[in-house]
Amino acid sequence: MTTTVYLVRHAEPNYHNHDDFTRELTEQGLKDSLKVTAYLKDKGIDKVYSSPFRRAHDTVKDLAHHLNLPITLEDDFRERRIDSVWIEDFNHFAQKQWQDFSYKLSDGESLSEVQYRNISALEKIIAENPNKNLVIGSHGTALSTIVNHYQPDFDYSAFSQIKHLFPFIVKLTFSENICQSISFYNILKEPPHETSLL
């Protein structure tokens, strides 16, 4: 039996809102979230999950509405906590974290911690949904740590190529809890561009 998971990186957020939980999508982000619906609406989606953060939830909201499915919020799919204060030099911080998965600021999370809780949540819903097609509203760093778990050579260089892309989709296929394939989809291109990652 094959379980397919579509990780959806949220659409463009409003960075003027520094609150991680309530940061909303921009007008462009709301428009681009419709491309998520257009791409996934005919993929036989059985369930829709999301990080509790608004930007992730709102990116898959139109899809869930179109499919008449509820969105199940899963706290462990939330984005990595950087610190209790806003970080201006995100690129330098991100590079240090990717070089050392244990590195974190005083009030933040390491990538190791982010990866552990995201993988734990993912394995749980895979076990609960054999032979289903699942969507997860997620975040750039959080879903990148998932990809890294199954493909360890996915590093900072690979992350840098996608960190400014909002939204995108990563498709993972599993036989039980063994990842069989990983594909990246740039849905902002016409037609959507696919790259095999595994």
Determine the Cα–Cα distance for residues 83 and 70; give it in Å rounded to an integer. Answer: 32
Confidence of residue 83 (pLDDT cuts 50, 70, 90): confident
The CATH number of whichever domain residue 17 belongs to comes to: 3.40.50.1240
- Looking at the predicted structure, is the pLDDT value of residue 4 above 80? yes
Q: Is the separation of the CB atoms in 184 and 194 below 8 Å?
A: yes
Q: What is the pLDDT of residue 198?
A: 56
| Residue 60 backbone phi and psi in degrees, to 5 | -105, 0
Q: What is the pLDDT of residue 88?
A: 79
Q: Is the separation of the CB atoms in 128 and 134 below 8 Å?
A: no
Residue 55's domain comprises 2-196
Confidence of residue 190 (pLDDT cuts 50, 70, 90): confident
Q: What is the pLDDT of residue 9?
A: 98
Determine the Cα–Cα distance for residues 111 and 37; give it in Å rounded to an integer. Answer: 30
Q: Which of 38-52, 79-93, 144-158 has the lowest mean pLDDT?
A: 79-93
Tens digit of each residue's pLDDT (9 = 90 or more) over 127-161: 999 999 999 999 999 999 999 999 999 999 999 99
DSSP state of 25: B
Q: In this structure, what token pair is assigned to residue 110? A: 């390491």
- Give the contacts of 68 (CB within 8 A, at least 6 positions apart): none
| Structural domain total, the chain | 1
Read off the pLDDT of each residue in 93-101 and give the average, rounded to a whole number: 96
- Looking at the predicted structure, is the pLDDT value of residue 86 above 90? no
- Looking at the predicted structure, is the pLDDT value of residue 100 above 70? yes
Global pTM reads 0.95
Determine the Cα–Cα distance for residues 119 and 108; give it in Å rounded to an integer. Answer: 19
Torsion angle of the four alpha carbons 126, 175, 35, 61, in this order, in degrees rounded to the nearest 10: -10
Q: Which residues on adjacent β-strands are paired with residue 27?
A: none
- Looking at the predicted structure, is the pLDDT value of residue 99 above 70? yes
